[in-house]
Amino acid sequence: MSADTDNTRAALQNISNFIRAEPSYVNITNQYNISLADTMTTSKTTYSDATTLGQELAALFATWNKLQLNDSDEAAEFTIRRMVVQIDTSSEELARLKQASNNLNVAANEVIGDLEPVSQQLHTKLDTEQRQIQSLQASLAATAQEINHIHDQLSGSSGFWDGFLTGITAGIYSGLRDKLSKQNALRSMYNSQLQQLQQTSQQTQRDIQTINQVSPALSSVNKLDASLVSLENSMQTLATLAQKTEHDGDRITGTENGKVAQFYYNRFNKDMTALLEWQNVFPT
């Protein structure tokens, strides 16, 4: 296996993974008016074209394997004529796949560009929420301290009852009760705000995590085009041989009877052997 075949297999797996995961990305991207529709469509088209190419290559390999050196001239020519058609068809499917993968690159890169400011916006939002949470937590701590202080006064631990029994008016007690009521109301309000803000912050963190998954997923699906170079080269060479074969005529000039299979084997063997490294790379 070459790096190109490994990279192609990995790229196709990434495309398949993106197709399956896309529904989980849509909610967050739609919130920011970013559409994954084109990327999803081109991903499916690319994977479908890759599957068709895989089927055509599998048929081509099967036909090549049928060629035996002891075949009759007629059987050898029939096999090779069929192979020529399959080479042409595979070349057409490869060109279609290349176009689809190029379209996928464009769609994916466009969405990646749209996601960058969204990611920055979400991180800024999270920073603000975290500061607000810290501020509320500090306010809650101060309020709790004040409430404890009032309770101490009301319970007499600060000498309040001594003062009350020696003539301090009941208005002081009433004032402390009012102050306690206000502090309790503040604590309740802070707790409610903190709970809401924590929920909002958690959602922001989940949105960031989703965005952090979408961008790499999109980056991974647009790597197929570059990995197909060696396959293109092999198919171009075979296409040239196929064109040459189409002009061989009904009989092969200079070839002895019973030697047609050997003639075509010698013509195609080197390049078909090179092409065989692409066997089972594409889905079928």
What are the per-10-residue average pLDDT scores of the chain (284 residues)? 86 92 85 90 96 97 95 91 95 96 92 91 95 94 89 65 50 75 89 94 91 85 84 94 78 62 93 94 93
Handedness of CA 49, 50, 56, 59 (dihedral sign): negative
Which tokens in the block code for residue 117?
């400011």
- According to the model, what pLDDT value does residue 30 have? 87
Torsional class of 220: left (φ above 0), alpha (ψ -120 to 50), beta (otherwise): alpha
Question: Whose structure tokens read 């490869």?
Answer: 94
- According to the model, what pLDDT value does residue 42 have? 94
Q: How far apart are CA 265 and CA 272, in angstroms?
A: 10
pTM for the model stands at 0.77
Domains of the chain, each with CATH number or no CATH: 3-278 (1.10.287)
If DSSP codes are grouped into helix, strand and coil, which group holds residue 248?
A: coil
Task: Give the number of C-alpha atoms closer than 13 A to the C-alpha of residue 99, restricted to the C-beta side.
Answer: 7
- DSSP string covering 106-130, please? HHHHHHHHHHHHHHHHHHHHHHHHH
Question: Cα–Cα–Cα angle for 141, 146, 148, nearest 5°?
Answer: 95
- According to the model, what pLDDT value does residue 166 have? 45
Question: Whose structure tokens read 């790229």?
Answer: 11
Helix 260-275 to helix 229-246 angle, to the nearest 10 degrees?
160
